[in-house]
Amino acid sequence: MKCTLPFSSFTNPFRSENYLYQCNQQIQRLFKIGKINDARKMFDEMPQRDAVSWNSMISGYCHNGLLNDARALFDVFQGKNIRTWTSMLSGYAKNGRFCDAVDVFEAMPEKNVVSYNAMLSGYLGIGDFVSARKMFDEMGERNVASWNAMINGYVKGGRMREAHEVFDVMPDRNEVSYTIMISGCVGVGEFEEAWKWFVDMRRRGEVRPDQKIFLVALSVVIGLDNVVMLANLVTLAMKMGYSEDVVVVTAILNAFTQIGNMDMALKFFENLPEKNEYSWTTMISALSQCGRLEDAVALYRQVPEQTVETQTAMMTAYAQSGRIVEARQVFNDIRNPNVLSWNALLAGYMHNGMIEEAEELFKQMPTRNVASWAAMISGLMHNAQSVESLELMAQMHRLGNIPSDSSFTSALLACANIGDIEVGRQIHSLSFKAGCQYNPYVGNGLITMYAKCKNLEDDAEALGLTRSDIICSPSIPAGHAYNFRLEDAVRVFQQMHNRDVVSWTAVISAYVQGGRGEIALELFLDMFYHGIKPNELTVTSLLSATGSLGAKKLGQQLHVLAFKLGMDSQLFIGNALSAMYFKCGSLDGIQVFDEMLERDIVTWNALLTGCAQNGLGKEAVSYFEKLTAEGFVPNQITFLELLCACGHAGLVDEGLAYFNSMRQKYGIVPVLNHYTAVVDLLGRGGRLLEAESLIKDMPMQPDTVTWDALLAACRNHHDTSLGQRVAERLFHMGTKESGTYVLLSNIYASQGMWDNVRKVRETMLDREVNKEPGFSWIQIKNTLYSFLSGNKTCDHVDEIYPMLREFCTSFQAEGYIPETKFVLRDVEEEQKQSELLYHSEKIAVVFGILHTPNGSPVEIMKNLRICGDCHTFMKFLSKATHRKIIIRDGNRFHHFSEGFCSCGDYW
């Protein structure tokens, strides 16, 4: 590329100093617009170069993240001056290669205040506040940029107190100083404090608000959602002569639209003395984003002269509204689309799931920038192509491009989607090198990635599930759901300087998904203490936690909170509320369902799940028929829950008919989970040989869960011979689930085969299989009390055990006979009865009776399946106390009332 500059006044431009100056200016301009190769070509073809030429190249490479290219020129340039050294130093520091920055700094023949400021920013960028402060204190010369670097570092590190202290002792302050302090408050959500800084700046009169200060002040009033403040700020801006400032006027329009006052925005727009492409673009975008696409189109047609910017805005509006054909037509009408136009169409294709079109467009792009890569990486991740997203991220890195914060965030979420912790750690390391590990979006991505080493979508892929299905369905085996790195997730959260609602929600969700709901609820209270308002995902995660804990009262409080926040009518929240109530054993889940204004298949699936777990098999069948009658199409999880409901209610023939209809009527191919549900259905109905035959004829290999379902049926129907065969198959498969061994022990114990019971126990010891201890818990006045089976030293033992023994004696007089066959030890009958007496659910329910008002329901949660003796005991207890007793065991809910159970003794 020849240097094509106008030199009409020079007969021999190659000998002109002005020519050299203009070439240097052209190099700088080319770097600014991203034409790096053109800049290099011009540099290589220059007949003569000076220090400015070399420094422009080195600085340009550094600014675009091409540090290796910059270093190559740096090393061969013989005329290095202090600017050359400082450019290289700043490049390393700003791009996260701080060790290289230190090497350059120490090798510098001379240093000035700019060099020290670059090092200050480098130290602060990696969070080394001690070294930064030490260097700052030892600097022989400081300028206002030095002071600003310190307060900016403290602000970005979330250390507002230290920033305030430095600001107070600054000898001179400028517009940048105030901009940093105000924006720092905005960054941590302290909008009222930010406004005080702005008012204080006006009162002191030290500086005149410049463009940047007005921009950050506008973000303050947006955060405060105060239209009166905005109007006052607009008046001030107009008085100070910013009516023709494109950036400020555009920001004012954005502020009106973000506060939600489109009428004021339109009025301000109409009253502008002169409209430019930016004001037209802003209004077109604002109208489309608030759902007024036709108004946006009408406004677009009023533009006096279409520009690339206005056409790009209209193209984006069409694409975001799903009208991609019109978007493409607008793109085709652009004479010389710039990289922003290409990126907008690229994002539009991804937004509409048109991946192949997006990939083809990406290949055709004449120029790409970091936003182009970010759009592709994010689009692939959001369109369930996480592997491809990570491959593109790797390609970008190999080409020497520094990923943007958006690319890092998308890549981390892609790792979470496929559970690739190793690649996630590599991206974490790369984000640190790039200096963006403190970015809140990257931080949130890191928390999510570490919290989900193995994502449920992968495990649910065979079922065709969505994230919403996962939240509302407890039928997916928890052991196959998540493999957590909670410690890493929490560590990232603790290191984050700026935590927003997304950060809090991510770490709360991590604890919920890790089965630590009680800590999640504590974090939620801490979140409220810090003044962070929860969003829909926060509430959904907490509803899941309360459901898992069986904490109905806490769930009701969250229901009230969702109502106050105006979220209760949202589909996602409604589904989570229904699921929460069902998980707590409350049929209020049906009421939530009935009151929902909008429903999807997830809503119906949550209802079927609730019916299945609460013994409402016939109701589940009725709801399924209603589901199809209303035009909803059942999916694989719908049938899974329906089969479970039939199995728990003894509707064997109905369940088999629905299973057969999956393929014949709905074209849904049953997967392993469905076959396991049918094995359980047949087994509960006593049709053991049919269940065994089904396992043998399955089109896929059965897993341990399938065989466990048959083994449980053998225990229930006392089929020792088949039970032994099934157990041997499970042992051969290498199962270490304690439940398998316990089931076999139960089978032997029920037949008095104590030698075999001992052999099973010895096998467990040899294989290091530990039996999970049984424990139950109950919530009383927002406090959870837990009880361990056989524990005679627990709190409240003096009040619980006498009453427990009294109940047992009374019930025996009425016909209750302790079912000692559930004791897995060959001991005297009296000792067996004593062991049965101290099962955790008996202890918990008596504690509940003692500490709740007469006649109120008692709700118990248990980690294991309730035994037959406790089941019988609860029927007697419900009749004697005239109370409803609700017990959620490891499989389902049992609702006891007046001597009967909702399961009909079929569980």
Q: Which of 115-129, 399-413, 732-746 has the lowest mean pLDDT?
A: 732-746
Q: 600-615: per-residue pLDDT in tens?
A: 999 999 999 999 888 8
Cβ-contact 189, 177 below 8 angstroms: no
Buried b (16+ CB within 10 A) or exposed e, 771-804: eeebbbbbbeeeeebebebeeeebeeeeebbeeb
Q: Which residue has the tokens 């919290």?
A: 451
State the pLDDT confidence band at 480, using cuts at 50, 70 and 90.
very low
CA pair distance 296, 568, nearest whole angstrom: 32
The stretches of 225-352 forming alpha helices (DSSP H) are: 227-239, 246-259, 262-270, 277-289, 293-301, 308-320, 324-333, 339-351
| 139 to 89, 202, 856: CA distances (angstroms) | 17, 31, 73
Query: Can you give the pTM of this predicted structure?
Result: 0.60
Look at the alpha carbons of 734, 738, 740, 742 in this order and tell me if their dihedral is positive or negative: positive
What's the number of CA atoms in the CB half-sphere (13 Å) around residue 762?
A: 6
pLDDT at 460 > cutoff 50: no
Dihedrals φ, ψ of 814, to 5°? -100, 5
Residue 498: per-residue pLDDT: 66
| 495 or 84, greater pLDDT | 84
Please state, in angstroms and as integers, the Cα–Cα distance from residue 43 to each residue in 32, 49, 709, following that order: 15, 8, 75
**Looking at residues 695-723, what average pLDDT do you find?**
88
| Range from 9-13, 432-436, 895-899 that averages highest in pLDDT | 895-899
What is the three-class DSSP state of 356?
helix
Quick one: pLDDT at residue 389? Answer: 92
pLDDT class of 676 with cuts at 50, 70, 90: very high
Q: What is the pLDDT at residue 829?
A: 52
User: Has residue 341 got a pLDDT over 90?
Assistant: yes
Per cent of the chain over pLDDT 90 is 29
Determine the pLDDT at residue 821.
60
E strand intervals along 359-477:
none
On the question of pLDDT at 827 being above 60, the answer is no
Residue 609: the pLDDT is 92
Quickly state the pLDDT bin for 453 (edges 50, 70, 90).
low
Residue 177 buriedness (CB in 10 A; 0-12 / 13-18 / 19+): buried
pLDDT digits (tens, 9 = 90+) for 273-298: 778 788 888 889 888 887 889 988 99
- Given a contact cutoff of 8 angstroms between Cβ atoms, the answer to whether 262 and 255 are in contact is no
Q: In what order do the strands lie in the sheet with 783-788?
A: 783-788, 775-780, 858-862, 885-888, 893-897, 900-901
pLDDT of residue 17: 65
Give the per-residue pLDDT at 845.
94
pLDDT at residue 475 tops 50: no
For 49-69, the pLDDT digits (tens) are 899 999 999 999 988 888 888
Specify whether the CB–CB gap between 546 and 580 falls below 8 A. yes
φ, ψ dihedrals at 776, nearest 5°: -130, 155
pLDDT score recorded for residue 907: 65
Average pLDDT, the chain: 84
CB 416 within 8 A of CB 390: no
Predicted confidence band of residue 417 (pLDDT cuts 50, 70, 90): confident
